[in-house]
C-alpha cells in the first residue's frame, strides 16, 4: 500500500478528530430541533449559541452578527443579494478578475440581467490595482466584493486598507474570506467590512456549513425565506451537528493561530519552495512572495503538462490538483499580466502546481516510525494519515486483510527531481516523439489515442534553454496550468 500525501488543503481539509467527536452526539443522541419549545430541543439551542460565540471570537465579531449558512457559496450569494436589496436604485457592482466563481459567476449573471459590473485587474504578482478599484466607484455603486486571500496563489488583498475607503463613500463592502479565516488573523471590526463569508471545511471543520458575518446595523434581506431561524436571516432547520463542528473547528483554529501555527506552516512552505527551486530548473513562483497565505505555494514548471504530472504523482501517493471547485482563473490573469498570452506556435506550456499545506500543525500528534509522507527530502508534513490506494482498474493494491504498510513513499517527488530514484524517462501513452525544435527542445505530437485535452499554450519564459528533468515525462500539448495545494 502506498501512503497518501495530501496536498490539496485549499480545496478542502480533513475534519479534525476533535471536531468529529464534538459532532458525534448530535446525529443519534442529541438530535432535537433547536427551535422546539421542549427541553430536549432547547438544550441543543444552547450548543448552537456556544458555536456562534466561538466563530465570533475567531473573526472578532459579536455573536448576533453571525448567520449560519450552508457554506461559502451561499454566504457570498446572500451578501450580494442583500446589498442590491439595500440599494434597489443602484445598479453597479465592483469586484476583481480573480474572484472565486461563487462571486464571479454571480456578478456575470447579474450583468446579463442589466446590472453593470466592473472587474478590477491584478498585476503580474496577483496584487489588486487599488487605484483602478477606487476609480470605478461612483454614486451608482451598491457593493464592492473582494476576496481576502486568493485560493490559487494565496495572494492576500489589503482588505483592512480598502474597506474603509469604500464604506466612506456610502458603499457596502463584502469580502470572501473563505481561504483566509483560520489561516491568518482576521478581525472584522478592525477591517471595517460589512459582510464576510467563511466556510468550515477550509479549516478542519465539516463540509456543508459556513457563516455570513453581517455588521450590526447593516441593511439586510435574506436570500432563503421561510421560518424564523437565524433571527429571520436564513430560514431552514439548523444543521446542528455541522454547526457544532464548525464552532469546535473555530476554537481550535483560534488556539493554533495564537500559538503561532501559521508561522510554522510558513516555514514549511518556504522549505518546500527552496527544495523545488534547488532541484528543478525553469521554475516560477506565482503570486506575491511577501503577501500570501502561509500555507500556499503556487509554482509553474515550463514545458510540463499538468494532467500528466498529476497521474504520475498519484502513482507515488501524492494527492494534487490541476483545478478544483475553488479554481478562480487567477493564474490565467497572472499570465496575461506577465505578457504570457496564448501562442500555439511558441515555446510551450507551463504546468502550474499549487501546494496547500496542512493547517492543523500547532498541536503535536504522535506518529509511528515511518508514518506519513515525504514532500521532498527530509521535509515532513505532520500529521499525515496514510490511506490505501487502488490501481486504475479499481483493485486493491494489497491482499484483503494484509497489514497496511505505513512506510513513507520513497522519493515522493522523484518525478520532479533530476535523477530521482527509480525515475525512467518515458512518454505517456498516446503521445509520440516527433524530433526536436531548432533550439533543441523536444517536440511531442499527439497520437490518435492521446487522453489529454489540448488547451492554449502560453508564450513563456525567455530563460536560456536547458534540459528539463521532467520534459520527457509529459506530452507538450500546451496546457497552461495545474494546481497542488498542501
CB 328 within 8 Å of CB 352: no
Q: Tell me the C-alpha distance between 154 and 266, whole Å.
A: 12
CA distances from 387 to 141, 203, 396, 475 (A): 50, 21, 12, 30
CB 126 within 8 Å of CB 284: no
Catalytic residue flag (residue 319): no
Q: Tell me the C-alpha distance between 415 and 430, whole Å.
A: 19
Please pick, among 83, 128, 326, 479, the residue that the annotation labels catalytic: 326
Q: Please identify which residue in the block is written with the cell numbers 501524492.
A: 318
Beta bridge partners, 214, equal 195
Q: Tell me the C-alpha distance between 196 and 210, whole Å.
A: 11
CB 93 within 8 Å of CB 100: no
CB 176 within 8 Å of CB 103: yes
Report the catalytic residues. Answer: 326
Amino acid at each position: 500500500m502506498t501512503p497518501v500525501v495530501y496536498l490539496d488543503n485549499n480545496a478542502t481539509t480533513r475534519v479534525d478528530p476533535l471536531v468529529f467527536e464534538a459532532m458525534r452526539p448530535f446525529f443519534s443522541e442529541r438530535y432535537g430541533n433547536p427551535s422546539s419549545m421542549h427541553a430536549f430541543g432547547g438544550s441543543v439551542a444552547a450548543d448552537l449559541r456556544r458555536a456562534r460565540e466561538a466563530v465570533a471570537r475567531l473573526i472578532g465579531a459579536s455573536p448576533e452578527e453571525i448567520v449560519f449558512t450552508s457554506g461559502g457559496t451561499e454566504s457570498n450569494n446572500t451578501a450580494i443579494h442583500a446589498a442590491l436589496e439595500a440599494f434597489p436604485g443602484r445598479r453597479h457592482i465592483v469586484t476583481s478578475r480573480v474572484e472565486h466563481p461563487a462571486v464571479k459567476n454571480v456578478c456575470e449573471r447579474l450583468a446579463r440581467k442589466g446590472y453593470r459590473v466592473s472587474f478590477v485587474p491584478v498585476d503580474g504578482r496577483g496584487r489588486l490595482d487599488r487605484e483602478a478599484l477606487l476609480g470605478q466607484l461612483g454614486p451608482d455603486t451598491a457593493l464592492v466584493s473582494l476576496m481576502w486571500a486568493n485560493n490559487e496563489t494565496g495572494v492576500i488583498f489589503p482588505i483592512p486598507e480598502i474597506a474603509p475607503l469604500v464604506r466612506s463613500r456610502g458603499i457596502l463592502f463584502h469580502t470572501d474570506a473563505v481561504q483566509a479565516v483560520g489561516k491568518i488573523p482576521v478581525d472584522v471590526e478592525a477591517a471595517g467590512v460589512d459582510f464576510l463569508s467563511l466556510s468550515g471545511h477550509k479549516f478542519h471543520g465539516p463540509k456543508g456549513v459556513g457563516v455570513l458575518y453581517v455588521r450590526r446595523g447593516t441593511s439586510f434581506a435574506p436570500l432563503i425565506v421561510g421560518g424564523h431561524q437565524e433571527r429571520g436571516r436564513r430560514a431552514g432547520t439548523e444543521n446542528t451537528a455541522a454547526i457544532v463542528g464548525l464552532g469546535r473547528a473555530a476554537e481550535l483554529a483560534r488556539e493554533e493561530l495564537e500559538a503561532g501555527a501559521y508561522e510554522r506552516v510558513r516555514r514549511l512552505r518556504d522549505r518546500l519552495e527552496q527544495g523545488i527551486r534547488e532541484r528543478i530548473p525553469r521554475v516560477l513562483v506565482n503570486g506575491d512572495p511577501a503577501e500570501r497565505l502561509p500555507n500556499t505555494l503556487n509554482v509553474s514548471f515550463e514545458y510540463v503538462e499538468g494532467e500528466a504530472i498529476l497521474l504520475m504523482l498519484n502513482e507515488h501517493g501524492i494527492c494534487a490538483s490541476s483545478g478544483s471547485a475553488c479554481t478562480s482563473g487567477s493564474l490565467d490573469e497572472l499570465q496575461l499580466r506577465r505578457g504570457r498570452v496564448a501562442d500555439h506556435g511558441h515555446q510551450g506550456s507551463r504546468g502550474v502546481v499549487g501546494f496547500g499545506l496542512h493547517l492543523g500543525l500547532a498541536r503535536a500528534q504522535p506518529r509511528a516510525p515511518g508514518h506519513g509522507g515525504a514532500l521532498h527530502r527530509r521535509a515532513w508534513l505532520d500529521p499525515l494519515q496514510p490511506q490505501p490506494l487502488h490501481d486504475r482498474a479499481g483493485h486493491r493494491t494489497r491482499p484483503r486483510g494484509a497489514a497496511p504498510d505505513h512506510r513513507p513513499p520513497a522519493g515522493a517527488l522523484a518525478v520532479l527531481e533530476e535523477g530521482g530514484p527509480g525515475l525512467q524517462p518515458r512518454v505517456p501513452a498516446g503521445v509520440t516523439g516527433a524530433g526536436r525544435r531548432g533550439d533543441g527542445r523536444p517536440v511531442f505530437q499527439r497520437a490518435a489515442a492521446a487522453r489529454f485535452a489540448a488547451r492554449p499554450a502560453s508564450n513563456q519564459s525567455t530563460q536560456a534553454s536547458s534540459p528539463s528533468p521532467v520534459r520527457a515525462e509529459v506530452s507538450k500539448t500546451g496546457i497552461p496550468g495545474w494546481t497542488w495545494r498542501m
